[in-house]
Structure 1
């Protein structure tokens, strides 16, 4: 039988039934590979499948979800998808969800609290079976996630510790990471280090600063408080870069003595490198610069940024697995929320080197 071209719309079981001259029920049994399909002649089954392929038929996932009472969907709410930090996280989440046959429903809050709230409600309305939140910035949490918990929807958050609110949490050990960066500069011979702290409302800021101070106390190194800066609140994906650029200009203008800059994250470090370069000085020949996160721009920049790597892809996989395990366990046996703290790693690249005076001494020996 010749299959005609349909005018518009998705191909349905009725379209295949008409084209194959079999009932909708027979077509449905064959294409769903139901047990009753074994009662249908092999020739008939092959004929129906051939027609379905020719018409470009795909099963109706929405209809299937109604029958199963399962959407097979995990909602992902990101604070800002344009941030390079989110890219490897999303890949990890996608990898973990795909293995279990789940689809992702991704929402981008664009660092806006109102959008964040609205999208949480949307994920509930769309019957997402689990929710993963990517948010390291501090927001007012009272009742924000309450509706999700009341609906027994499993949730995991990446970048925050909300285990006290019975939410599975995945984040890097920021204090260890801050200490790694400070120790690296100290071991290179730097003693006059400028520090750019993260925004006050970001939960990563304080533990990274605590790690830096721990190394300062252990080594007896002193920090010039006039060379300790703090980024303002996050207003967009370029906030860190712009802050690093501005502070680098201020440092050069002040003529304060420093040999290295320990930046809050990679984008801030890239801004510092730009500002120093504009001032006619070189990295790492004149000043060393470190970042944090190990996002792609840090690796491909010139100079490539020495940084503290977060295992972001692995953290995304972990978040997906936590939510999937909770979905499979069901509401009758909820597991206690757990904190998964990953270990950071120092990645040495070309933006750091011993101080210029020390290098001159070593080469003159």
Structure 2
């Protein structure tokens, strides 16, 4: 079998075969009003037969933009993020746009480099969920100030204004903590990400508010910070607490991965869940129904957040006048399961 690449068919090849001008072929492929229906049909039929593909790069160089949306997220292998990407991609496809996805792996340096690469690709807009390490937003300000819309989703900047799609993290964390209190927990630990990320700061605020509303003391030794909130980190943090002189009787983890790690640790140490240790996570990932006992959680409307972020990106990118910065806030719900239900 020959490995020689076949010559790519161009607009000029189609024009020569049809004996029309290249500009006529170009307009026909775009259903331009100036081209007759018969010519459009003939051009598209020949393009299909010859395997013609639009040269997206050349088109973007001419128009100074593309029909591609950049998506920059911390991790593509996390269920919440993959669902968010699904929402972005589905909404983009419905509107005739493509998506390029890049992950920072929670590294600020990777985020900066990837953002610059996406911008160099002449993206139409950029949808961003910040890396855990990110505290400076200059790289994103530069893209926004150039005229390319930047839409923040979930992990959003604390000191930079802009379009954003979020949930009410304070209320959601308050609900999760109150649920544990309602189940009889009095020493409730919190697993959270870096406090400079506003979502974790807000979830800690909700946790504190619930404790204070129930006249329970906030013990800072029960508030533990994780680098990435992985299963392994959840296991380590739970072990640290459960082997302490005054272990908690409840854990609120600000994601499900770390909560699953806590359940596994409790099992390894012979601590009964939920009888001795009630646990609730956040995101309502599929793993919640697989782990034993099933994990209580808080829903996080990832797909809808992705769709809304994409729709807002297109509204801003395609507007003829400046669009006022908008905060879109979606609802969450508590999903109680066996990992926390002491009182049925």
Shift of 1:345: 1.2
| Partner in structure 1 of residue 296 of structure 2 | 306
Contact between 2:173 and 2:207, CA under 8 Å: does it hold in 1?
A: yes
Residue segments in structure 1 that go unaligned for 5+ positions in a row = 1-5, 360-365
Match of 1:3 in 2: none
Match of 1:199 in 2: 194
Q: Aligned pair count?
A: 340
Once the two structures are TM-superposed, the CA of residue 35 in structure 1 deviates from its matched residue by: 4.3
Larger Rg computed on CA atoms: 1
1:348 pairs with one of 316, 327, 336 = 336
Residue equivalent to 1:22: 19
Q: Are residues 1:112 and 2:110 paired?
A: no
1:66-85, Cα deviation, whole Å (9 max, x unpaired) = 45444112111112222332
Q: 2:263 aligns with which of 258, 264, 273?
A: 273
Question: Structure 1 163/321 Cα, relative in aligned 2: closer, same or farther at 3 Å?
Answer: farther
1:176 and 1:51 map into 2 onto residues whose CA distance is 58
| Structure 2 unaligned spans of 5+ | none
Matched, 1:53 2:51: no
Q: Which position in structure 2 is the counterpart of 1:241?
A: 231
- Structure 1 contact 155–168 (Cα < 8 Å) conserved: yes
1:327-356 Cα offsets, whole Å, 9 max, x none, are 1114xx22221222323210112211217x
Tell me, yes or no, if the aligned pair for 1:190 and 1:354 is still in contact at 8 Å: no
- SS of the aligned residue for 2:190 comes to strand
State whether residues 73 and 103 of structure 2, in contact with CA within 8 Å, keep that contact through their aligned partners in structure 1.
yes
**Structure 1 counterpart SS, 2:176:** helix
TM value normalised by structure 1: 0.82
Is 1:152 matched with 2:147? yes
CA pair 194-150 structure 1, distance change in 2 beyond 3 A: closer
Matching residue of 2:325:
337
The 5 Å alignment of 1:89-238 reads 89-135=84-130, 137=132, 139-141=134-136, 143-162=138-157, 165-226=160-221, 228-234=222-228
TM-score, normalised on structure 2? 0.87
Point out the more displaced range, 343-352 or 160-169. Answer: 160-169
Deviation at 1:104, TM superposition (A): 1.1
Query: Match for residue 315 of structure 1?
Result: 305
Judge which range, 9-18 or 277-286, deviates more: 9-18
Give, in angstroms, the shift of residue 173 of structure 1.
1.2
Q: Do 1:109 and 1:119's aligned partners in 2 also have CA atoms closer than 8 Å?
A: yes
Q: Spell out, residue by residue over 1:120-141, the C-alpha distance to the aligned partner (whole angstroms, 9 max, x if none).
A: 2122211112111112635232
1:254 matches 2:244 = yes
For residues 138 and 334 of structure 1, the distance between their equivalents in structure 2, rounded to whole angstroms, comes to 31
